[in-house]
Chain A
């Protein structure tokens, strides 16, 4: 059982480059989330998707866009990367009626 799979695991970008972080879950969960984790800041919500076809902004959405491609996949796009977006990005999913969030292993992104 793969759970939540994120790709890539590591990425280095130059300022101004764009990229898409991929996330897929095989647990048939309705809700999916993107968080970023910075030292001393815990996890902060970027965007979430309560169900297929819907997305909403979280606490720190500026500079990001998301796509809920289908029930399994939820991608995060950086259109023009900035050094402030250097972080570890986590995707998570949650089943309907449950409160536990299941996390992927994270993508460590460095913007130089």
Chain B
């Protein structure tokens, strides 16, 4: 059972465009993480958000955690080809510390 729904599943855009990826759930999470995965590699953590309403910025990437801690978004401004990859959100519940992953959003940024 996938507790986290990501949308869109695929995104193909031109360099310089903006985009937003969504991660939604009916469950409340104690924290939510975003990972980026390149072909042939394991996922690498981008950010962890823990407080409802929290906004974190990482250069051109902006992450937001919903007020109810059930959803999150990732916004990329002026996308570059180097942003190409699979973006995964992962929720962590209570004291389990076991990340539960969404299906991922595959992003391709064309030069």
Contact = CB atoms under 8 A, between A and B. Distances in A.
A48 B41 CA distance: 20
Given A4-B42, A106-B42, A42 B103 contact: yes
Interface in B74-104: 88, 90, 92, 97-104
Given A103-B43, A106-B41, A33 B103 contact: no
A36 B62 CA distance: 28
B99 to A, nearest CB: 5
B98 A45 contact: yes
A12 interface: no
Contact of A100 (B2, B45, B103): B45
Contacts of A48: 98
Given A90-B42, A104-B42, A42 B102 contact: yes
A41 B42 contact: no
Q: Number of contact residues on B: which range applies? A: 20 to 34
A59 B1 contact: yes
A44 B102 CA distance: 9
B72 interface: no
Interface residues of A, number: 23
A99 interface: yes
A43 interface: yes
A99 B31 contact: yes
Given A90-B42, A103-B42, A43 B88 contact: yes
Contact of A31 (B97, B100, B103): B97
B73 interface: no
B42 A99 contact: no
Interface of A: 4, 31, 33, 35, 40-45, 48, 58-59, 90, 92, 94, 99-101, 103-106
13 contacts: A31-B97, A33-B98, A41-B103, A42-B102, A42-B103, A42-B104, A45-B100, A58-B98, A99-B33, A100-B48, A101-B45, A105-B40, A106-B41
